[in-house]
Structure 1
């Protein structure tokens, strides 16, 4: 019996669940929806009514995508879709305030409750928050109907999907929540529409190792028809234990009014949040009336300071260079409709790759992903939607301004936010437009400096420039006097004919082979080429005045118009790492032995290069073949290693001999880490395992099951090709569109796990070669 791997990720999952900001009585609104696409002919006056018959609609739970797409998406479904749900409000909640929050709805949403129009929302990446208190009836069944339109929009952007270069997908693709509050309650920031207001807003005006000041702003509303007397309590907790408590004097709040309360507490010897020590506190905010708690929120916070001195970045007073990567949130087949656990696993992969910062390209990512970054110690560059698209219309400009405000209101309490990218990426924007966006950051995050960032070199606090633009325009080097971040690198300058590295002199095939866009099926030589490119590019970045950089991109993704995926990912779209992933992993700081990395970048077969690369952050590596020592070496000293924290080790092997390569990594003369690679023999079976760091928890989870083609000793046969027949048992479904294909020795099945009550069984059979494999899991075994 094989079990799902349960390790440190389980602790992380529990920790991330704690980072959710609880507001009053907040419950999931994900289950029990009815759905139909191609709903252009349906009229809201019918669909929104409580007596509308939706029996022939599909039953779904959220997160949900409007359409399962093939692996390569060229004609993404766009159109009108509808969602309906029946729900009840308890009789005792009749006098309560009832709110709904949808974390993501693509792209234009219109909402009705019990046949009455509630609101319209533009934009698919930020939450919709609706007050439905006056639309529902307690003690009865209520009906919500939502019309979604994910067709191209001149108002929300970005540019039309057919030329966009990424996909926007569709559906109610993130979580939905019902929030029930007392008439005297803490407000919801995205509903209040107040500059730097609403909800709980936490800032840190003074931060040092010896002391930190926490400034807490709380927005309280009274919807009673009478005045009330209340007190506001703040409790700061560390690992569940209260370490500081504040209680205001009694305040009088008139009927139908609001009050903004300001409180502060000083913490001695605070545990600061950083990328290598992501210390998190919980702040519980409570309203007390006659000694009774009428509303509360729990906000997970991390105390940190960010400051730029000239071009240099300081976090908590420590000078830093932050190594980063860009991320698209896409999954194969289901598009954006990831489970929270899938979002967390992505963050774990990025952290394990050795990165400090993620540029959230080119739109806001999910709350679950932001929570995971808080817990893991991953900085983010938080971005509004935008790419190569600007309209001078008032409607478009106002929409962009609103998304900038909503982004900050949603994410302002997250420890992970480093910069606010309130910019339309690679878009020529008027200076006054850029200055307005930068001003919004200042307005929405006052009193403590928050930093705006953007693609053009005027109007923002931090200048973003892709490496290819610097190569093409060397005159820009040093022109910008403020902080500078290499926003993208490692891909386009090795791919495009006009990116400045003389690709125009190469024939098409050579240009492809020497680019960073390398699929795992292309073989190890081309994967090594990608790793070489990223090493060269990172080393080059470290010669500039930049305080950090972001490789393009973490995971392979769809472009929406091309015959294949964009393959510059450090992992493929199924989250299987390439050699370049391990190069970056070897660059992570060696603080203790558990940080050690030793990885042989070879399959070691007759086609393998005899110059063997070993990626490691150790001082010394010993390589042996079949027990015979080849060499003891320190790091490479070539021109592309001069600035690296940990350069690779390159070993020259005279002849290929089948067997085992072993690399031993030493630190200060002590053996720390070992890696082994064996020559694969004939394929003999299929081995099924779940993706690294997977704990399937049911509840609409998405997990990757890897079907590895292995020889009799368990070595993956990387040159094996076949299709796989996958059969499942349990409350689980296969989400793959089309056949499950073996790629470089591994086939991937994307599974939607609704529940593990019935266990999980996977049977796999290769169609041509008849190799078999199985996997079983039962809870509590």
Structure 2
């Protein structure tokens, strides 16, 4: 069959979990404020326009929805846009909001944000990664339309850091790239932890003074403020729920607050036989905290919590009393074209892919990531090390240091109730910090999270509870006398890129940089991608010989760098989240009968004429048998060599004498029974397109806007992927959707990918055709 333009139409259907945050109640309104914004990017930076004035006509501005990026960038970003941009929105307030306290909460806006409501400037906020909140009660208009205006500046900034974009190893992008909320509360209300700005207080703070499999004591701190004209009496009720069933509840005695008084109240709950949170069993509870006055609830907060206890004995991690090793990865929050402007669902998909790859831990490099990603880590059982912004930049300037101190406080106040957080990386990554500065950061962390469940982490060995050291640094100057808990924070990339791997230099002497590097695009070819796996295998195996309680590969997804004209391609998935062979190596390291495990068997070979005759197979089976055109080539146990002696499941390597067109088939055995198989068939000519939508998820929100990937697989007449295809594919979408970036895409290793944004994902039609 000759190559034809094949029309593939797919109607997308998603399963939804209702988003309770979108619902309003008589107690408190928390309304997602993402729709119907007007946006203008200022190209002439010398013009200081007064775009906060209500009379401004925005008919020539762009109509946008949040999350939003200031500029849709090319796939490879070498000159990311920086400058001034404006967002405006007109809105009306309901009568039900009269006599309420009115707030706007921004989850993230890059980087310096100035906000006006009805022409009144209410804040200038520094820093693009943490939330900020404004009270606009005094300027609210219930008779007329209101206007909110936001001026953003994402230029390099010496106060917020990190170093200038032209020398930065990642991009910072721009825009109101996370959610905005309109919040209406009664004058007597539970505060917001960041807005309250109280040490170890504000909002709801849940901690666990005692935890075992038999009993858990839960300490609940509730910070309440009375902004009524007179004093108020009330009680605080805490109800713990599991799967919507009440576990236990407690009502405080009557409390009294005078006008404009605020106070923290502490209640305690004790539960028998708690379900503890861990990577293998990420059990979560809902804590409902109510302020009840005269028998009526006047404020309510729902906090999702997980009960766990962490202890280090010598250098080993004990989670809920069990010695635990955390196999992990680093993640940048970037998508192609839209930078940081990910939907909540997109963040969930990223977390889900990390868990499915075989990881139980994520280092959140090198900045605070989104609420929705943190929520997903809680839900999926991904332990996190939560980081402030920092990368190769330190300043003696007092304003910079005070900003870092406040960012550390705000990070902990935002994320302290997340079950997934193991430690606080209140450290400026790869930035040499004086000991007095480290002392201040670690003191802040332990003050903000008192007790024995607070652990700080930093890349300098001094001061921090946990030492984070990249493998390339360890190979150069490892301190064998170190006794504190140790985490290999990064490995597998730089030491091979810079050729200081340190373990087997003789084998590297004849290799060019592109041949030895872990930075391999998915289109680099089988040999290069297998080199990436070899690097990862050697480095991970070496990490397991150290006293580390965790390691984190660099990196999960390919990403852009501010200073470079190419992608940083050490990801085990590309920037469109398509797996490389390394993905399956990690997937095979999880036992198949573990709670999140499954049988894994992956032939890392395309079986074409130029494919390696040494066939690598990743599997968590006991044995693997390989067949070529139905003839057995032998049944083997996993490899046993220098780079596999500590692995949970080493690869299997089969040597084939010569190439023979046809079918390679592998069968995996466990206890002498075949439990899984995989095969590769030599493809014919490219003739057909198969579309795959990245939508195989059960717990997505019904968002107003979403972004997701669509992949077109170039196959032959028999549906076999043509892995060396570089055909050009033309995509088209119909419905309430648009393609972000180019519609015509060249296939990489047989797969062409696009990013789709939609406001109604229930009925979207997608076409993919060969494009000459």
TM-score (ref. length: structure 2): 0.95
Pairwise CA distance, 1:17: 6.7
Partners in 2 of 1:17 and 1:670 — Cα distance?
Answer: 46
Structure 1 equivalent of residue 334 of structure 2: 330
* Superposed counterparts of 1:644-659, under 5 Å: 644-659=647-662
Structure 2 equivalent of residue 281 of structure 1: 285
Structure 2 equivalent of residue 123 of structure 1: 127
Corresponding residue to 2:622 among 610, 619, 623: 619
Pairwise CA distance, 1:92: 2.8
Corresponding residue to 1:202 among 193, 201, 206: 206
Corresponding residue to 1:441 among 442, 445, 456: 445
Indicate if the aligned counterparts of 1:469 and 1:499 stay in contact, CA closer than 8 A. Answer: no
Structure 1 equivalent of residue 345 of structure 2: 341
Corresponding residue to 2:386 among 370, 377, 382: 382
Say which SS state the counterpart of residue 747 (structure 2) adopts.
Answer: strand
Residues 1:701 and 2:706 aligned together = yes
Indicate if the aligned counterparts of 2:744 and 2:771 stay in contact, CA closer than 8 A. Answer: no
Structure 1 equivalent of residue 415 of structure 2: 411
* Superposed counterparts of 1:211-360, under 5 Å: 211-360=215-364
Indicate if the aligned counterparts of 1:725 and 1:764 stay in contact, CA closer than 8 A. Answer: yes
Structure 1 equivalent of residue 573 of structure 2: 571
Residues 1:138 and 2:137 aligned together = no
Pairwise CA distance, 1:718: 1.0
Structure 1 equivalent of residue 637 of structure 2: 634
Residues 1:680 and 2:683 aligned together = yes
Structure 2 equivalent of residue 776 of structure 1: none
Deviations 1:551-591 (A, max 9, x none): 00000011122221011000000000000010000011333
Deviations 1:195-218 (A, max 9, x none): 111000000111111111111000
Tell which deviates more after alignment, 245-254 or 668-677.
668-677
Pairwise CA distance, 1:20: 12
Deviations 1:488-545 (A, max 9, x none): 0000000114564687997897121111111111111111110111010000000001
Pairwise CA distance, 1:447: 2.6
Residues 1:713 and 2:715 aligned together = no
Tell which deviates more after alignment, 625-634 or 182-191.
625-634
* Superposed counterparts of 1:566-605, under 5 Å: 566-592=568-594, 595-605=598-608
TM-score (ref. length: structure 1): 0.94
Partners in 2 of 1:660 and 1:531 — Cα distance?
Answer: 24
Indicate if the aligned counterparts of 2:236 and 2:289 stay in contact, CA closer than 8 A. Answer: yes
Structure 1 equivalent of residue 760 of structure 2: 755
Deviations 1:220-263 (A, max 9, x none): 01000101110100000000011100001111111110121101
Pairwise CA distance, 1:449: 2.7
Structure 2 equivalent of residue 775 of structure 1: none
Indicate if the aligned counterparts of 2:362 and 2:385 stay in contact, CA closer than 8 A. Answer: yes
Extract unaligned runs of 5+ from structure 2. 1-8
Say which SS state the counterpart of residue 234 (structure 2) adopts.
Answer: strand
| Residues 1:656 and 1:21: Cα distance change in structure 2 (over 3 Å) | farther
Tell which deviates more after alignment, 480-489 or 616-625.
616-625
Tell which deviates more after alignment, 654-663 or 300-309.
654-663
Partners in 1 of 2:386 and 2:750 — Cα distance?
Answer: 37
Tell me which of the two structures has the higher relative contact order, counting C-alpha pairs closer than 8 angstroms and 6 or more residues apart.
Answer: 2
Partners in 2 of 1:573 and 1:100 — Cα distance?
Answer: 33
Pairwise CA distance, 1:21: 14
Pairwise CA distance, 1:477: 3.4
Say which SS state the counterpart of residue 647 (structure 1) adopts.
Answer: coil
Structure 2 equivalent of residue 773 of structure 1: none
Pairwise CA distance, 1:41: 5.2
Paired residue total: 759
| Residues 1:80 and 1:507: Cα distance change in structure 2 (over 3 Å) | farther
Partners in 2 of 1:509 and 1:293 — Cα distance?
Answer: 70
Structure 2 equivalent of residue 724 of structure 1: 729
Indicate if the aligned counterparts of 1:497 and 1:504 stay in contact, CA closer than 8 A. Answer: no
Indicate if the aligned counterparts of 2:21 and 2:30 stay in contact, CA closer than 8 A. Answer: no
Pairwise CA distance, 1:766: 2.1
* Superposed counterparts of 1:35-184, under 5 Å: 35-38=39-42, 40=45, 43=48, 46-184=50-188
Tell which deviates more after alignment, 98-107 or 558-567.
558-567
* Superposed counterparts of 1:416-431, under 5 Å: 416-431=420-435
Partners in 1 of 2:605 and 2:743 — Cα distance?
Answer: 31
Corresponding residue to 1:492 among 491, 494, 498: 494
Partners in 2 of 1:229 and 1:703 — Cα distance?
Answer: 49
Partners in 1 of 2:506 and 2:640 — Cα distance?
Answer: 30
Partners in 2 of 1:627 and 1:136 — Cα distance?
Answer: 76
Partners in 2 of 1:20 and 1:650 — Cα distance?
Answer: 55
Structure 2 equivalent of residue 643 of structure 1: 646
Say which SS state the counterpart of residue 595 (structure 1) adopts.
Answer: coil
Pairwise CA distance, 1:618: 1.2
Extract unaligned runs of 5+ from structure 1. 769-781
Pairwise CA distance, 1:724: 2.1
Structure 2 equivalent of residue 663 of structure 1: 666
- Moved segments of 4+, more than 3 Å: 1-6, 15-24, 39-44, 497-509, 694-698
Structure 2 equivalent of residue 483 of structure 1: 485
Partners in 1 of 2:511 and 2:168 — Cα distance?
Answer: 25
Partners in 2 of 1:121 and 1:104 — Cα distance?
Answer: 11
Partners in 2 of 1:431 and 1:737 — Cα distance?
Answer: 49
Indicate if the aligned counterparts of 1:350 and 1:554 stay in contact, CA closer than 8 A. Answer: yes
Say which SS state the counterpart of residue 651 (structure 1) adopts.
Answer: strand
Pairwise CA distance, 1:612: 1.1
Indicate if the aligned counterparts of 2:442 and 2:456 stay in contact, CA closer than 8 A. Answer: yes
Indicate if the aligned counterparts of 2:472 and 2:491 stay in contact, CA closer than 8 A. Answer: yes
Partners in 2 of 1:533 and 1:642 — Cα distance?
Answer: 15
* Superposed counterparts of 1:492-531, under 5 Å: 492-497=494-499, 500=502, 510-531=512-533
Corresponding residue to 2:738 among 712, 723, 733: 733
Partners in 1 of 2:413 and 2:316 — Cα distance?
Answer: 27
Root mean square deviation, CA, Å: 2.1
Partners in 1 of 2:101 and 2:350 — Cα distance?
Answer: 36
